[in-house]
Amino acid sequence: MFGFLKERLKRQLFAAIGVFTLSVGISHFVEGADPGVMGQPKGLSTEHSKSWKKFHSVHGKCLVSLPDSPEHVKQVMPCPDQGYDLRYDMYVSSHGKKAIYMLLIAQYPPFIDSSHAEISLESFLNGLLTQSHDNKLIFADLVNVQGHKALDFFIESKGVFFKGRAIMTENNLYLLAMECNVNNYTESHFNHFINSFELIK
C-alpha cells in the first residue's frame, strides 16, 4: 500500500535504526515542502475519537491510541560489530485504506549513554533521509516527552507523507509514525495519535 511501511520499510526504516545503533555505540566510547500541499486538515469527531483503541505494550511499558487492533512483529537484529543484538517490537494499525500508524520499540544494551540522546536522534533521522534521494524533510524539531529527549519529524516522498516522533529513554528507542498519501493527510488524527502516547512504570 505505502512505501515506508511495507517492503521498503525494512530497507529504509531499519537501515536508519542501524545508523542510530552505530551512533549510540560509538558515543559510548567517544568523549565528548511547502505546508500548503497538505490541504485543510479534517476534524476528528468525538465519535471517531472514541472508536480508536487504547493499546498497551507490556514489553515497551507504554500506552498509545490506535485506529484498530495492531499487527505485531517481533525480531532480533544481530549487530556483531557492536557486540550485541538489537531487539525490536513493531505494532502496525491501519486507518481504513487512508493511513497507517505504527509504534516501534527498539531495545538497546543497558550501557547506552542517554546524555548523547540528541546526537543519536539526529543520526537516526539522517539515516532515514539518506536512504532515498526522494525523501524531503519538511521539518524536524527536538522536543521533550515526559522528561525524555525526542525528535519530531515530517518527511515527504513522492506524494506520500511520513510523519512521526522518535523518543529515546535509557536503552529504548520509541518510534511513533504515520504514513499516508498527501491527499489523505489528517492532522487531527496524527495529533490524537501522538498525544495519546504515554510511558508507564
| Distance separating alpha carbons of residues 200 and 190, to the nearest angstrom | 21
Mean pLDDT of 51-70: 90
Q: What digits encode the pLDDT tens for the residues 19-56? A: 543 333 322 222 232 223 333 334 444 345 568 989 99
- Would the pLDDT of 179 be above 50? yes
Name which residue leads in pLDDT, 140 or 171: 140
> Would you state the cell numbers that stand for residue 3, as one nine-digit string?
512505501
**CATH of span 7-31+42-199:** 3.40.1000.10
Mean pLDDT of 158-181: 90
In this prediction, residue 108 carries a pLDDT of 73
* H helix runs in the chain, sequence order: 7-29, 46-51, 117-129, 187-196
In this prediction, residue 56 carries a pLDDT of 92
Q: Which of 189, 164, 187, 150 is nearest to 9 (CA)?
A: 164
Mean pLDDT of 96-125: 79
Each domain of the chain, given as residue ranges in start order, spans: 7-31+42-199
